[in-house]
Amino acid sequence: MLPANPKRTAWTTFRQELQVEATAGRWLAPGRVNLIGEHTDYNDGFVLPMALPLGVTCVAGVRGDGVVRLRSRQRAGEPIETSTGALGVSGWSELPEWSHYPLGVLREFTRRGYEVPGVDLDVDGTVPIGAGLSSSAALSCSVALALRDLFAPSVSAAEIIDIARTAENVYVGVPTGVLDQSAAILCTAGHVLFLDVRTGEHEQIPFDLEGFGLELLVIDTGTPHRLVDGEYARRRTECATAAEELDVPFLRDVASIDDTDRLTDPVLRRRARHVVSENARVRAVAEQLRTGGDPRAIGPALTAGHRSLRDDFEVSAPPLDTAVDTATAQGAYGARMVGGGFGGSVIALVDRDTTSRVVKSIREAFYARGFQPPRTFAVTPAAGAHRLS
């Protein structure tokens, strides 16, 4: 007889206790890939993400004793028990970093005046962590949706997005924009989301891959990105400085890419050039898809976006460049890194019947360069966050 696995036993016990303690339901929030529009959200610009058929599920149960219990299937050895009153602005360094996302969401609900008498949270995710596919926003948004439905049904989708973003900014320490949280909450199946970050106006644009015999391939390079390491924050500061020197509120307000030539600092000039050109690419891709055109036509914009992220924004990495270069050499219509950068994933738009060849070539190229084998999978636009039961 095999000995009992203590982690599995603890997990099973927790699940049984949740069932006893009035489990109220399950909620799912998806990860995302951003078809185009990287590092434009905190510059008040435009983005074009889609939700993934991968996400984070939150099982939530109501308690009446002020206790907060949190467990993650991915962190089975790190159960957390605290109280709603203990989640102030201090003491976060003593908690595991992953817990700052859901507990930060809970803290924001109570800070904004929504009463949470106690809750059990059981989370489980399928989004690869560190792959640039927004597993953190999926975690935050699944918990936010559960808390909204259980304790604060009047909270709007816009406030859920703000709560989840604030949790990441304040309690994790990453100064992200609203791209990831907006994608998790607002996306719909079969569509990409065209979002004007400044106004909040958004449009669901059909993205019919199957009808055109295409696949959107995700290549997880296995190179984790860590936005808390400071480079992401540095890029945001550089963009704000460039906007100030150009005398505009945000780089979104720069009228022409030629205006970036007024910046004397070559680094700031490159950062601004990326943001201005990327906003133009988002609008062009959205228009191409909006009019029902063949998605193959957006390929050059995807690849141009990667070159801009690599050369002007300087957030790429050798495995990302290898995946992009190999995919395009093997016939992909376009390819680019996604996410904050410095690692993570690449997307490639390919004909369905060439997917195997592209994947094989990328694996061979990674092996030849001594990189670890990438994980590859095709994705279609999925639904945004919703209640499962």
pLDDT tens-place string over residues 322-335: 999 999 999 999 99
Q: CB within 8 A of 108, min separation 6: which ones?
A: 163, 166, 167, 170
CA distance 358 to 350: 8
**Neighbour tally for 377: CB within 10 Å:** 15
Q: In the chain, what are the domains?
A: 6-203 (3.30.230.10), 208-379 (3.30.70.890)
Taking the alpha carbons at both ends of the chain, their separation in whole angstroms is 36
In the set 41, 120, 122, 180, the catalytic residue is 180
CA distance 114 to 148: 9
Residue 89's pLDDT band, with cuts at 50, 70 and 90, is low
Residue 37's pLDDT band, with cuts at 50, 70 and 90, is very high
| pTM of the predicted structure, to 2 decimals | 0.90
Answer yes or no: 41 catalytic: no
* Nearest in space to 143 (alpha carbons), one of 194, 96, 187, 99: 99
Contact 361/370 with Cβ under 8 angstroms? no
Please report, rounded to a whole number, the percentage of residues in the chain having pLDDT higher than 70. Answer: 92
